[in-house]
Amino acid sequence: MVQSRAGAEGVGDAVNAVLQSHPLQRISSPSYGVSLAVHTAGLASFASSYKFLIDNPNAMNEAFGWHLQFLTIIGLTLSTLTFVFGLLADLTSSRALFTIKNALSVASTPMEVLISLLYWGLSAIDKTLVVPPELPPISFSADIGFHLAPALFLITDLLLLSPPWSIATLPSIGLSAGIATAYWFWVEACYKQNGFYPYPIFDSPTHLRLALFAGAGVTMAVSTYLLKAMYKYINGVEPELSYNQTKSGKARMA
């Protein structure tokens, strides 16, 4: 009987250890509290943006690649997938689902920052660079939903509800370059089928288009670096064990 109780307590301790948040996380996650509220609100916002696409059809609905020709909608889809795993982790307290959410965040968060920077930056210069003139204008609230809200939700998730990213500089550059290259090939495939590019700025000489994609890849890599720096500034850095601490720890284990 004593052995059974001890075994149950051991299992309980193991479960608590697995579910324990990283020491640098500001708010416990996964959880039924703030984490669940943030992921639910984010998914509601993303769903509203998808509903807008369905309720307001245009030429892109019939084109090859649908609205997924736009980097904005690719980012929205990846953000939705990230928050779906975050919500499921909150509801099930699954560490595995939480880990998947964090892995997806390494790609989706810098991408959404890139989308926001490019869209609002180019729009300030000339909105026709990023919005085809044949498409009807969208409301300001919808504009925010597509081009700013995803970045804000994902940054909130990173800074408050996630452990620090472990991705190093070179892998982050490789990830950014891989995404930029994949999008290049996807856009060109859509162009061959449709005869037009999703963004008017893409309708430029090849060398300029290549420079634009390369610049986007660099911007995404820099965004990853800055997001990691912001995380350290807000949440601190996990202390590293000194050589003497590590040595004494090994001695105790022996």
In sequence order, the 6+-apart residues with CB closer than 8 A to the CB of 130 are 118, 119, 122, 123, 199, 200, 201
Parts of the chain with a pLDDT under 70: 1-21, 239-254
The pLDDT value given to residue 239: 67
Rounded CA gap, 84 and 44, in Å? 11
Instruction: Please tell me whether the peptide bond between 30 and the residue prior to it is cis, using omega within 30 degrees of 0.
Output: yes
**Tokens representing 233?**
């500034």
Phi, psi of 22 (to 5 degrees): -60, 140
Tokens at 206, concatenated? 């090849």
Q: Is the dihedral of CA 66, 71, 75, 81 positive or negative?
A: positive
Q: What is the pTM of this model?
A: 0.85
Q: What kind and span of H or E run contains 43? A: helix 34-55
pLDDT at 160: 95
Which residue bears the tokens 């939705």?
80
At residue 7, the pLDDT reads 44
The two structure tokens encoding residue 17: 């250890």
Rg value, the chain, Cα: 22
